[in-house]
């Protein structure tokens, strides 16, 4: 700061005190004080004892915290300090400045050591990495584009593959096949990070590879190399390449459809990415490749078993909790298992074809709806109420016997047709609470003109409380029951009012 002030002032030939103070955001008195200091005074000032600060007394504890938890924020450090030593008269901003100084002067964690996977040699290495760019406008829809970038380490020749859905093993194999055919040959090995598309597990640098991808690599004739975990610098060429593709290649561009995306990337690679003068090599990648690397590339023929493309790559959509996806201002249903999940979507022959994003299997087809605001549903995508009702009726019939169960269900359906399934669910639970029921009582209940879950519950509770009254003959049988005086139901005929199951106390 002192030398900067003197340089700006330049012994009166440079900026004024006011201008220096405004530029450096300090007071004019500070500027004036430093300008008056001689070289000896400046040296003594800089080498003099540093002013003690409030956090110096807790320096050891702060270093311990950061050594144990390197990503602690200043706010969290302050909170832990207050918990350990009581309230401190310092702000989070003060702690933040103190942490910056500590991190610049103290080794808080063990340094990572990096080493290149291979020295650059023509035809030897290709670095491969994926990425994604959100919000690319394709067909007027903000879409996520999933990328796989291939960079030949020697020439820096670039190839880019794009997908509308997250890249799986089959798609990765197709992309490798396309890249090697575009290069006109294959390298001896490809370098990856530890993605599960390639490496399932690593133990002491021993790799368990994705079996399907490993078979493809063996048949194609290239070796698989994987970086150490959390060591992206080992494949820094492709890391930079992914950023370059996203920022220079696709960002800010709009496309009519996915075919336009592919055409644009091919043109961009040919005219821009591989034609520019590369900063590291000083040559255009395409020229360096043709001059020095292509003769060293091994020949490549697509091995058998390459997964074939099944037409246009689908876009993806997220199904909501009701099992609907939005497409062109209309909504379409997906099977129950795909609710709240992403699915692949593509228009084909006047239909909306919906697929599983992982396997690509078609899970639904809908005729495209004209206009806007329509909801197109396939009833088989939801729980079929008729199936649920049939299951409940069968359970009740099994509990009461076929004839009696059918009569009871028919009576409940006639009484409560709009909530029939819910009524059956309640009756099924209710019958489970009464394992031993008098068939005569149930037969009499089925003769009632109306029946519901609450009425049935009231009858059964009353009869269960006083079964002995079932033998008592009432003065006269209620006209709505049709039950004889000796019926077990006769004594309880008066409690069948629709909204008064609590009237069971009248029995006493």
376 burial level (CB within 10 Å; 0-12, 13-18, 19+): middle
pLDDT, tens digit (0-9, with 9 covering 90-100), for 396-431 = 988 888 888 899 999 999 999 888 888 999 999 988
d(CA 276, CA 498): 85
Residue 463 host element (H or E)? helix 453-465
- Non-local (6+) Cβ contacts of 111 within 8 A are none
- Give the pLDDT confidence score for residue 507 in this predicted structure: 37
Q: Which of 357, 237, 131, 26 is nearest to 35 (CA)?
A: 26
Residue 108 pLDDT: 57
496 and 448 Cβ atoms separated by less than 8 Å: yes
Q: Given this model, what pLDDT does residue 145 score?
A: 92
pLDDT at 56: 80
Q: Which of 253, 295, 275 is nearest to 124 (CA)?
A: 295
Q: What is the pLDDT of residues 189-248, one digit of tens each?
A: 999 988 888 888 777 667 788 888 999 999 999 999 887 665 555 556 778 889 999 988
Backbone phi, psi, residue 221, to 5°: 100, 25
Pick the closest to residue 198 from 176, 165, 180 (CA basis): 176
DSSP E strands in 368-426: the ranges are: 375-376
Phi, psi (rounded to 5 degrees) for 417: -70, -30
Residue-level pLDDT at 322: 86
Task: Please check whether residue 408 is in contact with residue 451, taking contact to mean a CB–CB distance below 8 angstroms.
Answer: yes
Instruction: Identify any residues that bridge with 343 across adjacent strands, giving them in sequence order.
Output: 317
pTM listed for this prediction: 0.44
Q: How far apart are CA 224 and CA 445, in angstroms?
A: 76
Per-residue model confidence (pLDDT) at position 63: 82
C-alpha angle with apex 406: 489 to 395, nearest 5 degrees? 100
Q: Structure tokens of 492?
A: 């309880």
pLDDT at 508: 39
What pLDDT, on the 0 to 100 scale, is given for residue 190?
92
Q: Please write the tens of the pLDDT for every residue from 121-158.
A: 889 899 999 999 999 998 888 889 999 999 998 999 99
Contact between 322 and 340 under an 8 Å Cβ cutoff? The reply is no
DSSP state of 15: -
CA distance 312 to 332: 20
* pLDDT (0 to 100) of residue 148: 94
- What is the rounded CA–CA span in Å between residue 248 and residue 273? 9
What parts of the chain have a pLDDT lower than 70? 42-52, 104-120, 204-205, 228-236, 305-314, 358-361, 379-380, 382-387, 467-508
């Amino acid at each position: 700061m002192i030398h900067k002030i003197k340089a700006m002032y330049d012994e009166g030939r440079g900026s004024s005190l006011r201008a220096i103070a405004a530029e450096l955001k300090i007071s004019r008195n500070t500027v004036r004080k430093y300008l008056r200091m001689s070289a000896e005074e400046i040296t003594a000032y800089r080498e003099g004892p540093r002013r003690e600060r409030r956090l110096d007394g807790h320096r050891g504890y702060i270093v311990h915290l950061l050594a144990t938890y390197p990503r602690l924020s200043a706010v969290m450090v302050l909170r832990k300090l207050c918990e350990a030593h009581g309230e401190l008269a310092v702000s989070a901003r003060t702690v933040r400045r103190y942490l910056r100084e500590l991190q610049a002067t103290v080794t808080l964690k063990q340094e990572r050591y990096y080493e290149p996977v291979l020295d650059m040699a023509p035809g030897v290495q290709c670095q491969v990495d994926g990425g994604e760019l959100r919000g690319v406008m394709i067909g007027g829809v903000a879409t996520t584009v999933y990328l796989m970038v291939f960079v030949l380490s020697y020439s820096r020749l670039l190839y880019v593959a794009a997908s509308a859905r997250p890249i799986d093993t089959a798609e990765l194999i197709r992309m490798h096949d396309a890249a090697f055919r575009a290069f006109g040959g294959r390298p001896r090995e490809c370098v990856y990070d530890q993605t599960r598309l390639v490496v399932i597990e690593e133990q002491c640098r021993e790799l368990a590879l994705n079996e399907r991808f490993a078979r493809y690599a063996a048949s194609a004739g290239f070796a698989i190399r994987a970086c150490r975990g959390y060591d992206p610098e080992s494949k820094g060429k492709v890391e930079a390449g992914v950023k370059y593709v996203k920022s220079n290649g696709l960002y800010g561009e709009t496309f009519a459809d996915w075919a336009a995306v592919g055409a644009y990337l091919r043109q961009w690679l040919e005219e821009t990415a591989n034609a520019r003068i590369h900063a590291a090599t000083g040559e255009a990648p395409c020229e360096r490749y043709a001059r020095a690397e292509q003769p060293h590339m091994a020949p490549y023929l697509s091995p058998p078993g390459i997964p074939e493309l099944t037409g246009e790559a689908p876009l993806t959509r997220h199904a909501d909790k009701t099992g609907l996806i939005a497409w062109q201002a209309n909504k379409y249903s997906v099977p129950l298992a795909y609710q709240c999940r992403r699915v692949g979507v593509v228009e084909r022959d006047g239909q909306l074809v919906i697929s599983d994003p992982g396997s690509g299997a078609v899970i639904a087809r809908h005729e495209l709806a004209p206009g806007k605001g329509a909801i197109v549903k396939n009833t088989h995508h939801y729980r079929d109420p008729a199936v649920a009702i049939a299951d409940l009726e069968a359970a009740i019939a099994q509990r009461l016997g076929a004839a009696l169960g059918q009569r009871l269900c028919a009576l409940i359906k006639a009484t409560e047709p709009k909530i029939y399934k819910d009524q059956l669910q309640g009756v099924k639970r209710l019958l489970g609470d009464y394992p031993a029921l008098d068939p005569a009582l149930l037969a009499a209940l089925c003769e009632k003109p109306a029946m519901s879950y609450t009425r049935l519950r009231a009858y059964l509770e009353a009869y269960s409380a006083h079964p002995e009254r079932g033998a008592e003959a009432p003065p006269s049988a209620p006209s709505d029951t049709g039950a004889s005086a000796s019926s077990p139901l006769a004594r309880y005929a008066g409690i069948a009012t629709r909204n008064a199951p609590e009237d069971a106390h009248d029995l006493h």
